[in-house]
Amino acid sequence: AALASLANTAEVARRRSENSAVRGQLTRGLEALGLQPVGPAVANFVYVELDVDGRTAFERMLQKGVIVRPMAAFGAEKAIRISVGLEQESAACLKALGSVLEDLRAESRGGA
């Protein structure tokens, strides 16, 4: 089925276009949160360095029902990788990440 789907060039083009659009939305949303994604990204994920611990951010995101990948195993303690999904999934991810970053930043300042 996977090989047959690759033969449908119109569908492959549509999915690539959708992935590109949502990846752009995700990148702009990260920038609005004061982050600088590494890029330009061309795959189905965005890599971004945080100003907080990536593993802790991952765990807090998981509690909000959003899965990102911490990059500590690759030597990047403060980075996460976010997969590009549907537009509404990216919006939910950005909302959750904004909340998590706000909480973690406040905790690091001795608040909350």
Read off the pLDDT of residues 79-101 as tens digits, 9 standing for 90 and up.
999 999 999 999 999 999 999 99
Residue 112 has pLDDT above 60, yes or no: no
Q: What is the pTM of this model?
A: 0.87
Please state, in angstroms and rounded to a whole number, the distance separating the CA atoms of residues 88 and 25.
Answer: 10
Angle 41-43-48 (CA atoms, 0-180°, nearest 5)? Answer: 45
pLDDT at residue 41, rounded to an integer: 85
Whole-number Cα distances in Å, 94 to 23, 59, 66, 109: 12, 15, 10, 22
Please state, in angstroms and rounded to a whole number, the distance separating the CA atoms of residues 82 and 99.
Answer: 16
